[in-house]
Copies of this chain bind each other. A is one copy, B any other.
Amino acid sequence: MDQKTQRDPAMTDVARLAGVSHQTVSRVLNDHPNVREQTRLRVRAAIKELGYRPNRAARALVTGKTQLIGVVAQNSTLYGPASLLSAFEEAAGEAGFAVSIGRVKVLDRESIAAAVERHRDQRVAGLVVIAPNASAADALADVPAGLPLVTVDGDPERTTALVTVDQAAGAFEATTHLLETGHQTVWHVSGPQDWFDAAGRVQGWKRALDAVNAEVPPVVAADWSAAAGYKAGQMLARMPEVTAVFASNDHLALGVLRAMHERGRRVPHDVSVVGFDDVPEAAYFIPPLTTVRPDFAAVARETLGLLLEQVTAGESTTSRRTIAPVLVRRESVAFPS
């Protein structure tokens, strides 16, 4: 062993090699203006030569700020949240922030509070909470006011910074598409009632029906799973007057598709179906599913933007951004026979 366990180089080591003080090294690192170009180069060279890497802990200690963003999300493999997270990490990485995630099994107030606490322990610079239902949104009351916070898919009624997909607009478009294709009315298989996403989709669906004075059938309540969609589909398949179904997500739609198939009701010939999310496999359902595609990458970008705004400004805002989804037409919709 050359040295004592070969401690990695610190700022003073760089300073010594470059023949300057550690403070000058710090200035170079932080792009302070008052450094001679020549000095700057010398320091840069020394940094490179030593393979110096600033110690974030030391910096965090003195500045009181970290370069960490915490994300609280449900412990789920749902397509929406997963892609969102994925896109968010990418955006954050580009902005020089690391992302620490605190998954939570159930979206109740207690679990979320615990996850938030864990992140506060880490002294995160800001927090993103994916709070798609009421109990999750409630938990946000516990987040201290000073901490920059952005909610995703949260309560539209609440006054926190919020980024969401415009659920209602997407549902409206989907429903209108079915109506314009010639259906008298459209049935709706909804996600869990306490999810804002589901509620927004119900709203948009209703608005579209109202707009043309179509009859509004009762909402078929379900959760987000294919199993629930299948169950709902079994019921709908038995009702001959059902010719068009708008499912609150693609997995529900998949279940509906299978129930229709088993019952001998052909899609789209006898029944048209539209989903929501555009999961990658949707194009390979039987038949390929017409669905609504939210732009998760855009949501992620907006979220990060809003958060960094707060982080740099040092105060909370209540701005909100809404991302409009688009309808993707495939082969699960047709003129009723």
Instruction: Give the interface segment out of A93-101, A164-172, A190-198, A321-329.
Output: A93-101
Do residues B280 and A77 form an inter-chain contact, with CB atoms below 8 A? yes
Do residues B230 and A257 form an inter-chain contact, with CB atoms below 8 A? no
Do residues B101 and A118 form an inter-chain contact, with CB atoms below 8 A? no
CA distance A98 to B281 in the complex (A): 33
Among B60, B77, B93, B100, point to the contact of A68 (Cβ < 8 A).
Answer: B100
Interface residues of A in 64-78 (CB under 8 A from B): 66, 68, 75-77
The answer to whether residues A286 and B286 also contact, given A53-B120, A77-B83, A122-B98 and a CB cut-off of 8 A, is yes
Interface residues of A in 96-148 (CB under 8 A from B): 98-103, 105, 118, 120-123
How extensive is the interface on chain A, given as a class? 35 or more
Question: Does A229 sit within 8 A of B, measured CB to CB?
Answer: yes
Do residues B77 and A121 form an inter-chain contact, with CB atoms below 8 A? no
In the complex, which residues of chain B have a beta carbon less than 8 angstroms from the beta carbon of A93? Answer: 102-103, 118
Among B55, B76, B86, B280, point to the contact of A225 (Cβ < 8 A).
Answer: B280
In the complex, which residues of chain B have a beta carbon less than 8 angstroms from the beta carbon of A105? Answer: 90
Question: Does A82 sit within 8 A of B, measured CB to CB?
Answer: yes
Closest to A105 in B: B90
**Residue of A79, A101, A251 with highest tally of chain B CB at under 10 A:** A101
The answer to whether residues A122 and B56 also contact, given A102-B93, A103-B93, A286-B286 and a CB cut-off of 8 A, is yes
Do residues A123 and B82 form an inter-chain contact, with CB atoms below 8 A? no
CA distance A79 to B86 in the complex (A): 13
In the complex, which residues of chain B have a beta carbon less than 8 angstroms from the beta carbon of A257? Answer: 286
Proximity bits, A5-33, B CB within 8 Å = 1, else 0: 00000000000000000000000000000
CA distance A255 to B97 in the complex (A): 39
The answer to whether residues A57 and B258 also contact, given A77-B86, A98-B100, A284-B229 and a CB cut-off of 8 A, is no
Question: Does A285 sit within 8 A of B, measured CB to CB?
Answer: yes
In the complex, which residues of chain B have a beta carbon less than 8 angstroms from the beta carbon of A199? Answer: none
Do residues B255 and A284 form an inter-chain contact, with CB atoms below 8 A? yes
8 chain-A/chain-B pairs, Cβ below 8 angstroms: A53-B120, A57-B57, A82-B82, A89-B101, A90-B105, A227-B283, A251-B281, A258-B286
Q: Contact residues of A with B, CB < 8 Å? A: 53-58, 60-61, 66, 68, 75-77, 79, 82-83, 86, 89-90, 93, 98-103, 105, 118, 120-123, 225-227, 229-230, 251, 254-255, 257-258, 261, 280-281, 283-286
